C-alpha cells in the first residue's frame, strides 16, 4: 500500500498551464485544506460534531412519541395523511397535545442532528458555485447569470436569489447517529471484529491466506490497509456511489444522486434502505462534476483530518472516528467524471488502467481494445503486435498506482494544449481525481473498482444480443451474409422471445421481475435485472441449438464465469475456474467475431476486454456484487417513487432524501421506533436454524398417496430406532400427515408445496416448489427428484446447462427440511408454455435448472421474500 500523502498535490507545485487541470487542482487543494469550519455548517451542527450527545434522544413524552410514530408510519404518504390522522386522534382525545406536522418535522430534524448544505448551481447544470466557483456571478461555461433579481416589497431595492440550488447531506451527523444506541453501535463493529478474527487466522498460518472471498474485508487491498494502520477499529469504512437517472420516461427529469454505504455493517444490513446514507442531489447533467460533489468530499476530508468525535453507546466511551473512503463506485461514463480518465473510447480506455493500447479504424477517433492486430493494418500508433491478454491482468495495485502517478505528472506538466492532447492520448489521463485530495482513500485507480452490474447485465448483454440479432453497425466493407452468428432474426427471434416469456411461471417470485419477451419489449425499458436473468439464467438452455455450436460454447464460458462472480461466497478454486473461463471467452471472442478484420474493430468492446479483469479484481476487493451499482439503482428507484411534485421534482427529491436521512438516523439512535420484524407470522412454526413453516396448513392429519407412503416407509426403515415406537406400528402401515403450504429458508426465499401451488392455474403462479437440497437427506419433507443431468451437455456448456428428466412418482424421497438450500427454477426444455403443463410437471420430460444470479447478495439488499398469502 503506497503512502497516500505521497500522491497529494502541494502549494509548492508549479501551476499547470492547462486550465481544466489547474481548476481541478484548486478543488483538490480545497479538499486537502478542508476544516469543519469552512463547510457551511451552522454553529449547532459544528458543536454537535465536536461535542456529541452521550445519550439517545429523549422522546418519553407520550404526545411526542405518538407524533413521531405516526410521522414515521406516514413517511411515504403525503402531509395531508399525517394531518388527517392527527385530526382523527384529536377528535377522539381532545386533550391530546399531538404535534402538528410542521412541529413534528422540526422535532425529528432536531433530534436526528442531520442537516442539508445548500449550494447555488448554474441553471443549465454546468457548475455548482462551490470551491473555486464560490464567488462567481456568472457561469463560466454558458455565461448564464447565477441570480434571479427579486424585488423587495418593503423597499425599491432588489434581493439576489439563486436561480437553482442543489443539496448536500453531510455524512458526519449521520455517522454519529449510528453509534448512539448500544444495538447499532455493536452492529457497527462487524467489520472490525471479523477482520480481527481473520488476522488471528493469518497469525496461526504464518501467512495471509484467504480461502474464500465473502466480503470486502477479504480483499487484498483492505487487508493491507488494516495491516499498515490506515484503518483502525474505530474508523468507519465508506463506499461512495453515484449515478444519474431520468425519473420520468416522458418528461425531462435528469437527476444525479450520490450515496454513502457503511462497509462496517454486516452485508445483510449495510445495503438495506434504512442504512444507506444519502449524500447529494443535483438536477440536469453536470458538466463539472467535481464542483457538485465537492461539498460532500470536503466534509469527509475535514472529518478525516480532525476526527469525528462519536459517543459509542456499546463501549460507553467517546471514540474518534476518522472515516476511510475505500471505494468510489459508478458506471463507466460516470467513472470518467470521478477518476479523471479518458473513458472507454480512449486509446488507454481500460477501467482498470492496464497497459493495453486500443486500435481505431482509419479516419475514426474511437479506440477499441483489440488484442489481436488486424490483417493488413498499418495505422501509426495502433499497429502494434498481438497482445497477450493474460500478461495484462496480474498486476498489483501498487504497481498500477506508481505508473498512474508517473503518467499523471506528465499530463499535468503539459506545456500547451497540443502537448496536453498528445499526453492525454498516450496516458489515458485527462486530469487528477478530486478523490486524490482525501487524506484517507484507497488510492487511484485502486479505489475505483469494477461495476459488475453494468458490465455484466447491460454492456456484455447489449453487445452479444446486437451481434446475434444483427443490429450492431455493419461497416460498409463488411457483409452480414458472412456473419455466422447472426441467427436471431425473423421467426427465430420471435419464437425465442416467446420461449423467454413462457418461462415466467417457472421462475419463483423470489427471482424478482421475470424477463419479458425480448422480441417485443427489449426496446422499451428492458431492465438490468431482466437482462441478467435472461442472458445468464435462461439463455444457455434456450439458445442451445439456436446459436451455432462454436458461438454458443463461447457464450457459455462467459455465463459460467459471471455466475461465479455473482456469488456472495467465492472459494479460491471457483475463482480460478471463473478466471480461466473468462480469459478463454475473451480470447475466443476476438477469433470468432472480430476475426482480425479492421472493419469489425467495433466488435471489440471494453466489456469483453474487462471480463478477464474481474477475477483479479475479486482477489483485490472481494465479491464484486458488494461494490456494484445495484444498491444505487435501488436507491434511485425508491426515492423516485416518493417524489410527489413532478413539476418541481429536484427540490422534492432533495427533501425526500433529507427526510430519509433524518428518519434513518433517528431509528438508529432509538431502535424501538422500527417495527419488530423478527416476530414470526401468525400460525408459523420455527424449525430452528432460521427455517420457518408458514401457513396454510391442513386442519387435520390426512392420508398420503401410495407412492408418498412408500417413500416415508423407506425413510423410516433406513433410520429405524430413531423414532418413538408409535411410528413403527399402525402409523407406518397407513401414514397420515399434516401438510404445510410454505417453508421460509435462511436466505429469505419461501419454498411452496405442490399441495397449494397446484391450486392455481399456470398463468397465475410463479413456481416456488423446485428446491436445491444438500447431500444430507435426513428427514421431514416429501420431494420428487429429478434424474441425473445430461453429462455431455453439462460439459460442453461449461457447466451452465443442467438438463434432467423429472422422475415424478418414481422419484419420491423424504428429506430433512434444513437440507433445502434455496428455491430454484426448473424450466421445461421442449414445448415450453404448452398446455400440457397447466397441471404441473410431466414425468419423464426434461427440464433445465435456473438459479437466481447473485441470490445471496440481492438478499442482503432486499431482505426476505415478501409474503403474498
DSSP H helical ranges for 413-548: 417-427, 452, 461-469, 490-502, 518-521, 528-533, 539-542
CB count, 10 Å around CB of 196? Answer: 12
Instruction: Give domain status of residue 828, yes or no.
Output: yes
Q: Is residue 509 part of a domain?
A: no
Q: Which residue has the higher pLDDT, 245 or 271?
A: 271
Q: Which of 195-199, 490-494, 693-697 has the lowest mean pLDDT?
A: 693-697
Mean pLDDT value across residues 41-69: 95
Select from 270, 253, 176 the least CA-distant residue to 215. Answer: 270
Q: Which domain holds residue 856?
A: 685-862
Query: 399-408, 694-703, 793-802 — which is least confidently predicted?
Result: 694-703
Predicted confidence band of residue 6 (pLDDT cuts 50, 70, 90): very low
H-assigned helices in 622-776 = 630-642, 649-669, 706-718, 730-733, 754-757
pLDDT for the residue 2: 39
Percent of the chain with pLDDT over 90: 67
Average pLDDT over residues 197-208: 93
Grid cell of 397 as nine digits: 495495485
Confidence (pLDDT) at 822: 86
Looking at per-residue confidence, does 819 or 534 come out higher?
534
What pLDDT does residue 855 have? 54
Integer Cα distance of 772 and 825 in angstroms: 9
Cell of 167: 443539496
Q: Is residue 711 part of a domain?
A: yes
Q: Which residue has the cell 418414481?
A: 810
- 758 occurs within a structural domain: yes
Predicted local confidence at residue 3, as pLDDT: 42
Q: Helix and strand tally (H, E) in the chain?
A: 31, 27
Whether 725 is in a domain gets the answer yes
Reported as a single tens digit per residue, the pLDDT across 511-568 is: 888 999 999 999 888 999 899 999 999 999 999 999 999 999 999 999 999 999 999 8
pLDDT given for residue 203 in this prediction: 92
- Between CA 834 and CA 846, with CA 840 as vertex, the angle to 5 degrees is 70
Side-chain-side CA neighbours of 136 within 13 Å: the count stands at: 23
Q: What is the total count of domains within the chain? A: 1
* CA atoms 439, 261, 229, 2: torsion sign: negative
Closest by CA position to 40, among listed 227, 295, 263, 224: 295
Q: Which residues, including other chains, have CB under 8 Å from residue 844's CB and lie 6 or more apart?
A: 805, 806, 808
Q: What average pLDDT is seen over the chain?
A: 89
* pLDDT-wise least confident of 56-70, 362-376, 735-749: 735-749
Position 845 pLDDT exceeds 80 = yes
Q: pTM for this structure? A: 0.92
* Backbone φ and ψ of 751, nearest 5°: -85, 135
Gap between the Cα atoms of 768 and 785, Å rounded:
15
What is the pLDDT at residue 9?
44
Structural domain includes residue 705: yes
| pLDDT tier for residue 867 given thresholds of 50, 70 and 90 | very low
pLDDT in tens, 496-505: 999 999 999 9
Higher pLDDT, 41 or 852: 41
* C-alpha to C-alpha distance for 163 and 143, rounded to whole angstroms: 13
Residues 98-123 pLDDT 10s: 999 999 999 999 999 999 999 999 99
**Distance between CA atoms of 428 and 273, rounded to whole angstroms?**
37
Domain annotation covers residue 742: yes
Q: Is residue 776 part of a domain?
A: yes
**Shortest CA distance to 799 belongs to which of 578, 499, 589, 614?**
578
What is the 8-class DSSP label of residue 460? I
How, if at all, do strands 324-329 and 237-246 pair?
Answer: parallel
Residue 651 has phi, psi (to 5 degrees) of -60, -40
Decide if pLDDT at 595 tops 50. Answer: yes
What does the alpha-carbon distance between residue 309 and residue 321 come to, in Å, rounded to a whole number?
Answer: 6
pLDDT at 853: 78
CA–CA separation, 230 and 1 (whole Å):
9
CB neighbours of residue 699 within 10 Å: 7
Instruction: Categorize the per-residue pLDDT at 248 as very low, low, confident or very high, splitting at 50, 70 and 90.
Output: low
Q: What is the mean pLDDT of residues 336-350?
A: 94
For range 421-433, the mean pLDDT: 97
What is the pLDDT, as a whole number, of residue 554? 98
In angstroms, the CA 632 to CA 619 distance is 23
Average pLDDT of the residues in 10-26: 80
**Phi and psi at residue 520, in whole multiples of 5°?**
-110, -30
Give the per-residue pLDDT at 11. Answer: 38
Residue 690 phi/psi, 5-degree rounding, is 70, 20
Q: How confident is the model at residue 698 (pLDDT cuts 50, 70, 90)?
A: confident
Whole-number Å distance between alpha carbons of 463 and 475: 16
CA distance 159 to 264: 46
661-674 mean pLDDT = 95
Amino acid at each position: 500500500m503506497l503512502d497516500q500523502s505521497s500522491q497529494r498535490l502541494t502549494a509548492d507545485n508549479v501551476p499547470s498551464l492547462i486550465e481544466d487541470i489547474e481548476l481541478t487542482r484548486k478543488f483538490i487543494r480545497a479538499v486537502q485544506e478542508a476544516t469543519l469550519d469552512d463547510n457551511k455548517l451552522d454553529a449547532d451542527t459544528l458543536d454537535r460534531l465536536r461535542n456529541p450527545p452521550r445519550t439517545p434522544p429523549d422522546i418519553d413524552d407520550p404526545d411526542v412519541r405518538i407524533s413521531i410514530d405516526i410521522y414515521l408510519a406516514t413517511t411515504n404518504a403525503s402531509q395531508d395523511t399525517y394531518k388527517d390522522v392527527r385530526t382523527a386522534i384529536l377528535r377522539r382525545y381532545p386533550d391530546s397535545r399531538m404535534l402538528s406536522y410542521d412541529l413534528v418535522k422540526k422535532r425529528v430534524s432536531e433530534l436526528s442532528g442531520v442537516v442539508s448544505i445548500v449550494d447555488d448551481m448554474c441553471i443549465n447544470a454546468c457548475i455548482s458555485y462551490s470551491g473555486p466557483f464560490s464567488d462567481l456571478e456568472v457561469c463560466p461555461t454558458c455565461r448564464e447569470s447565477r441570480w434571479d433579481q427579486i424585488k423587495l416589497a418593503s423597499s425599491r431595492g432588489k434581493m439576489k436569489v439563486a436561480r437553482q440550488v442543489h443539496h448536500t447531506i453531510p455524512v458526519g451527523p449521520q455517522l454519529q447517529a449510528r453509534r448512539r444506541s448500544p444495538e447499532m453501535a455493536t452492529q457497527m463493529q462487524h467489520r472490525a471484529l471479523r477482520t480481527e478474527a481473520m488476522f488471528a487466522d493469518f497469525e496461526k498460518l504464518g501467512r495471509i491466506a484467504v480461502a474464500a472471498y465473502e466480503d470486502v474485508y477479504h480483499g487484498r487491498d483492505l487487508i493491507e490497509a488494516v495491516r499498515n494502520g490506515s484503518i483502525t477499529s474505530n474508523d468507519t469504512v465508506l463506499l461512495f456511489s453515484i449515478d444519474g437517472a431520468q425519473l420520468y420516461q416522458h418528461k425531462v427529469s435528469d437527476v444525479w444522486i450520490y450515496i454513502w454505504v457503511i462497509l462496517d455493517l454486516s452485508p445483510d444490513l449495510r445495503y438495506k434502505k434504512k442504512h444507506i446514507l444519502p449524500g447529494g442531489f443535483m438536477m440536469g447533467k453536470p458538466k463539472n462534476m467535481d464542483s457538485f460533489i465537492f461539498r460532500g468530499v470536503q466534509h469527509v476530508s475535514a472529518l478525516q483530518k480532525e476526527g469525528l468525535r462519536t459517543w459509542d453507546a456499546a463501549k460507553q466511551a467517546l471514540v474518534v472516528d476518522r472515516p476511510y473512503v475505500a471505494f468510489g463506485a459508478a458506471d463507466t461514463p460516470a467513472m470518467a467524471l470521478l477518476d479523471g480518465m479518458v473513458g472507454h473510447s480512449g486509446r488507454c480506455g481500460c477501467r482498470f488502467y492496464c497497459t493495453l493500447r486500443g486500435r481505431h479504424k482509419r479516419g475514426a477517433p474511437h479506440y477499441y481494445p483489440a488484442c489481436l492486430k488486424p490483417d493488413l493494418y498499418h495505422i501509426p500508433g495502433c499497429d502494434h503486435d498481438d497482445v497477450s491478454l493474460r500478461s495484462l491482468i496480474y498486476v498489483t495495485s501498487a504497481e498500477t498506482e506508481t505508473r498512474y502517478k508517473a503518467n499523471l505528472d506528465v499530463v499535468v506538466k503539459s506545456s500547451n494544449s497540443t502537448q496536453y492532447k498528445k499526453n492525454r492520448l498516450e496516458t489515458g489521463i485527462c486530469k487528477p481525481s478530486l478523490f486524490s485530495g482525501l487524506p484517507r482513500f484507497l488510492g487511484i485507480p485502486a479505489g475505483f473498482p469494477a461495476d459488475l452490474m453494468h458490465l455484466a447485465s447491460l454492456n456484455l448483454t447489449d453487445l452479444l444480443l446486437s451481434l446475434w440479432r444483427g443490429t450492431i453497425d455493419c461497416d460498409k466493407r463488411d457483409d452480414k451474409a458472412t456473419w455466422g452468428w447472426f441467427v436471431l432474426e425473423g421467426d427465430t427471434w420471435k419464437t425465442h422471445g416467446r420461449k423467454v416469456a413462457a418461462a415466467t411461471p417457472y421462475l419463483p417470485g423470489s427471482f424478482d421481475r421475470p424477463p419479458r419477451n425480448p422480441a417485443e419489449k427489449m426496446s422499451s425499458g428492458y431492465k438490468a435485472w431482466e437482462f441478467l436473468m435472461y442472458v445468464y439464467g435462461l439463455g444457455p438452455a434456450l439458445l442451445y441449438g439456436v446459436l451455432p455450436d462454436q458461438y454458443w460454447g463461447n457464450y457459455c464460458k462467459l455465463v459460467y464465469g459471471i455466475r461465479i462472480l455473482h456469488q456472495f461466497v467465492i472459494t479460491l478454486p471457483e475463482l480460478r475456474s471463473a478466471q480461466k473461463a473468462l480469459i478463454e471467452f475473451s480470447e475466443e471472442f476476438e477469433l470468432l467475431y472480430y476475426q482480425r478484420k479492421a472493419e469489425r474493430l467495433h466488435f471489440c468492446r471494453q466489456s469483453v476486454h474487462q471480463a478477464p479483469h474481474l477475477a483479479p479484481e475479486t482477489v483485490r476487493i472481494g465479491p464484486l456484487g458488494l461494490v456494484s451499482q445495484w444498491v444505487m439503482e435501488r436507491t434511485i428507484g425508491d426515492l423516485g417513487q416518493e417524489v410527489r411534485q413532478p413539476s418541481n421534482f429536484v427540490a422534492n427529491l432533495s427533501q425526500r432524501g433529507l427526510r430519509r436521512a433524518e428518519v434513518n438516523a433517528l431509528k438508529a439512535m432509538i431502535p424501538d421506533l422500527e417495527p419488530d420484524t423478527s416476530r414470526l407470522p401468525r400460525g408459523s412454526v420455527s424449525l430452528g436454524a432460521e427455517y420457518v413453516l408458514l401457513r396454510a396448513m391442513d386442519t387435520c392429519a390426512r392420508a398420503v398417496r401410495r407412492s408418498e407412503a412408500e417413500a416415508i416407509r423407506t425413510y423410516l426403515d433406513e433410520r429405524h430406532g430413531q423414532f418413538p415406537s408409535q411410528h413403527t406400528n399402525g402409523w407406518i402401515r397407513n401414514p397420515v400427515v399434516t401438510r404445510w403450504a410454505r417453508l421460509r429458508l435462511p436466505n429469505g426465499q419461501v419454498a411452496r408445496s405442490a399441495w397449494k401451488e397446484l391450486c392455481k392455474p399456470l398463468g397465475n403462479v410463479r413456481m416456488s416448489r423446485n428446491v436445491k437440497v444438500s447431500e444430507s437427506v435426513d428427514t421431514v419433507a416429501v420431494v420428487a427428484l429429478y434424474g441425473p443431468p445430461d453429462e455431455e451437455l453439462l460439459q460442453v456448456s461449461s457447466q451452465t446447462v443442467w438438463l434432467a428428466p423429472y422422475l415424478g412418482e418414481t422419484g419420491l424421497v423424504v428429506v430433512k427440511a434444513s437440507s433445502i438450500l434455496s428455491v430454484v427454477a426448473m424450466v421445461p426444455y421442449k414445448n415450453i408454455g404448452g398446455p400440457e403443463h397447466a397441471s404441473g410437471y410431466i414425468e419423464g420430460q426434461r427440464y433445465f435448472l435456473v438459479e437466481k444470479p447473485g441470490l445471496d447478495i440481492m438478499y442482503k439488499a432486499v431482505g426476505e421474500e415478501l409474503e403474498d398469502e
